[in-house]
Structure 1
Amino acid sequence: MKLAEHKDLKIAITNLPVKEKDKLLLRLIAKDKVLTEHLHYKLLEDERDLEYRKENIKADIESQISELKKLNVKEALVKVRKMITSVNHFYKVTKDSFGEVELKFFILGIIPLDYKRSLFGYKDFGFLFATFYVKTVSITLNKFNKLHEDLQFDLSENINQLLSKIYSSKLASAAEAADLPKEI
């Protein structure tokens, strides 16, 4: 049931006494961890906390890179997906578009593109890794293009380095197939 479809319910809720509304609101918030974290961020944190969150994610990613180089492509794909998921969670909590794009390009730029061959299914997972990686770059580039031009300027050098890295690796054909630019 959507609230927009039930205008009478919306009116009834707004007419509730403040104490009862607060009680209901707190019960609803407690059921959703992301909403709880978002409200904590919005109501109790400031710009320093946003930078602290970004630095924590970067430090966590950097600590995993040496381990990532030792994995086969299947295991690496799982780890990289978790890294990107952590940035998606960051965005859900902070609604910081620039931070999301910055962190995703940081991850995509720092992770290695060559992994050990596994005995079984290397080609399948190699293809899945390449597809995931290139699609993530493409989606992030679309988000990058929606940012203000001053913010785009701040990230453009890192993005060009990433695109150069992609086109000088085994992922070049996948990047061309996905119409990734060679530079921005």
Structure 2
Amino acid sequence: MKLAEHKDLKNAITDLPVKEKDKLLLRLIAKDKVLTEHLHYKLLEDESDLESRKEKIKSDIEAQIPELKKLSVKEALAKVRKMISGVNHFYKVTKDAFGEIELKIFILSSIPLDYKRSLFGYKDFGFLFATFYIKTVQVTLNKLAKLHEDLQFDLSDATNQLLSKIYSSKLANVAESSDLPKEI
């Protein structure tokens, strides 16, 4: 049931006494962890907290990179997906589009592109890893294109380094077949 479809309900909610409204609001917020974290961020944190969040994510990623190099491609794919979902959570909480793109470029630039071969499934998981990686780069580039041109400029060097890394790796064929640009 959407609130917009029930104008009577919307009016009844706005007509509630403040104390009752507050009680209902707090009960609703408690049911959604992301909403609770978003409200905490919006109401109780400031710009320095945003930078702290980004630095924590970066330091967590940097700590995981040496471990990634020792994993099979299947295990690495799972870890990289988890890293990217952490950035997606960061965006849901902060609504910081620039920070989301900055962090994704950081992750994509930091992770190694060569992994140990396992006896079973290397080809399948190698393909899945390459597909996931290139698709994530494409989505990130699309989001980058939607930012203000000054913000795009701020990320252009890091983005071009990422693209250069891709085109000088084993993923070059996949990137080319996916029409990934060689630079922005």
Pick which of 174-183 and 22-31 moved more. 174-183
Residues in 2 aligned to 1:177 and 1:91: alpha-carbon distance in whole angstroms: 30
Partner of 1:16: 16
User: How is 1:33-72 mapped onto 2 (pairs within 5 angstroms)?
Assistant: 33-72=33-72
Normalised by the length of structure 1, the TM-score is: 1.00
State the aligned residue count.
Answer: 184
- The answer for unaligned runs of 5 or more in structure 1 is none
1:142-153 matched pairs, under 5 angstroms: 142-153=142-153
Deviations 1:145-169 (A, max 9, x none): 0011111111100110100000011
Structure 2 Cα separation of the partners of residues 158 and 43 of structure 1: 32
**Cα shift at 1:142:** 0.2
Shift of 1:10: 0.2
CA distance in 1, matches of 2:119, 2:15: 65
> Is 2:35 the partner of 1:6?
no
Matches within 5 A, 1:19-34: 19-34=19-34
Q: Equivalent residue for 1:96?
A: 96
TM score, norm. by length of structure 2: 1.00
Query: Identity percentage over the alignment?
Result: 84
Residues 30-179 of structure 1 correspond to what in structure 2 (within 5 A)?
30-179=30-179
Letter in 1 for 2:126: G
Q: Where do 4+ consecutive residues of structure 1 move more than 2 Å?
A: none
CA distance in 2, matches of 1:46, 1:179: 39
Structure 2 Cα separation of the partners of residues 141 and 177 of structure 1: 16
Tell me the distance in 1 between the aligned counterparts of 2:63 and 2:102: 18
CA distance in 1, matches of 2:42, 2:75: 36
For residues 118 and 78 of structure 1, the distance between their equivalents in structure 2, rounded to whole angstroms, comes to 15
What is the rounded CA distance, in whole Å, between the counterparts of 1:118 and 1:105 in structure 2? 28
Q: CA deviation at 1:118?
A: 0.8
RMSD: 0.3
